[in-house]
Chains A and B, each alone.
Chain A
């Protein structure tokens, strides 16, 4: 293996490692290939292509294109859940009537995602598995209590397990997905009466910009108070994060000016972002404070 930890841009060296290309048509076949090990999974390619070209990640010996695997695309109702196939594109999510009806906050986030061309190519499974702390579907899905479905074929038959999305990420580009597992779908519980959810993304341009910060807030609103509160932040830590202290500051309290100010202060203290090219840590903390307050104001007035 070449040493590609620093800016290795020699495409010949990187592509040389691909020994096999596979484009399976069924889940069973795809899981069989994964089980043999050392596989790079390709969906829309909008993360994989730039990352491999820049040498930030190297190909494994097998490149498996999952774009033709049957049954991984589309949105359906599954009991008390909305089930979204891993290959569903951001464009499809944005327009899907079931998503618009049952998870409008996810459609809203998809509307602020990149450009039309990227939304037509990029998949939900790719956005989740790329595991960027700034991935724009992650924060809304976390506040909606989404879970991921992972399938594998360890001993000849297909098994699946589910994991809350909030627990799926372990670091930038790292998740709890095992090497032999494929993310097949995301399940979102259908909203309870009184459910409200909001998403806010800050970037210097409305779209085509990696989020400087993002905020998701959800809960059940009854008699002017929020319960079952979920607050999550993107791009302020190595993974998207829940904010338990901010949630606790709001839970069950009347959503008045005092509660909102206290929650916004807690949110600022709770995050520990870094300085990077997009913003300083200080600026990110101020954004979190001000925008959390504004979003809660809107929820209170709605």
Chain B
């Protein structure tokens, strides 16, 4: 039996109490314990960004985080962003620009894009490209994603 630990945190604005295995990743907890499967498992090694979430406002790879480290923190996943009217412009921009193909990278990409725009509301294409360096997309070739984020930043906000 592996050691369990009780944690309390805010998940998408709502208080949550969970008992987790101390060596479990935050990604496994979100998907398998809490049941929020919007956050994706791509590589499990911090390389692809499909598992990107917000932790106390900053984006992190949930596959590299210990679930126990959520204790006391403010967590936002793609499900939380989907319910946030402030992110409407960004979501619509992804649709309008065809920045989604298979969609596997999209939750992580949108989470990271929202972080880029929060830290730099006037981000230009170069800043956006640098900002999504940790997010891999096997389909779109990135151009449409960068265009979408750029239009959301100067248009919708």
Chain A contacts to B: CB under 8 angstroms = 11-12, 14-16, 18-21, 23, 42, 44-46, 49-50, 52-53, 59, 63, 65, 67-68, 91, 114-118, 120-121, 206-208
Residue pair B23, A18 in contact (C-beta under 8 Å): yes
Q: How far is the CA of A65 from the CA of B26 in the complex (A)?
A: 14
Interface size class of B (residues with CB under 8 A): 35 or more
Residue pair B61, A121 in contact (C-beta under 8 Å): yes
Number of interchain pairs (Cβ within 8 Å): 96
Q: How far is the CA of A14 from the CA of B49 in the complex (A)?
A: 26
Q: How far is the CB of A210 from chain B (nearest CB, A)?
A: 11
Q: Is B134 close to A, CB under 8 A?
A: yes
Known contacts: A19-B3, A21-B5, A65-B69. The answer to whether A49 contacts B64 by CB under 8 A is: yes
Q: How far is the CA of A53 from the CA of B65 in the complex (A)?
A: 12
Of the A-B pairs whose beta carbons lie under 8 Å apart in the complex, a sample of 22, sorted by A's number, is: A15-B2, A15-B3, A16-B1, A16-B2, A18-B3, A21-B3, A44-B64, A45-B69, A49-B66, A50-B46, A65-B66, A114-B134, A115-B49, A115-B133, A115-B134, A117-B59, A117-B60, A118-B134, A120-B59, A121-B61, A207-B130, A208-B47
Q: Specify the main secondary structure of chain B where it touches its partner.
A: mixed
Q: How far is the CA of A291 from the CA of B115 in the complex (A)?
A: 35
Q: How far is the CA of A278 from the CA of B2 in the complex (A)?
A: 37
Residue pair B3, A65 in contact (C-beta under 8 Å): no
User: Interface centre among A44, A49, A91, by most B CB within 10 Å?
Assistant: A49
Known contacts: A18-B2, A65-B69. The answer to whether A117 contacts B22 by CB under 8 A is: no
Contact among B22, B131, B133 with A15 in the assembled complex (CB-CB below 8 Å) = B22
Question: What 8 A-B pairs have minimum CB-CB distances, sorted nearest first?
Answer: A115-B134, A15-B23, A120-B58, A15-B2, A21-B22, A49-B64, A121-B60, A117-B134
What residues on B are CB-neighbors of A120 within 8 Å?
A: 55, 58-60
What residues on B are CB-neighbors of A206 within 8 Å?
A: 133
Map CB proximity to A onto B1-32 as digits: 1 under 8 Å, 0 otherwise.
11101000000000000000111010000000
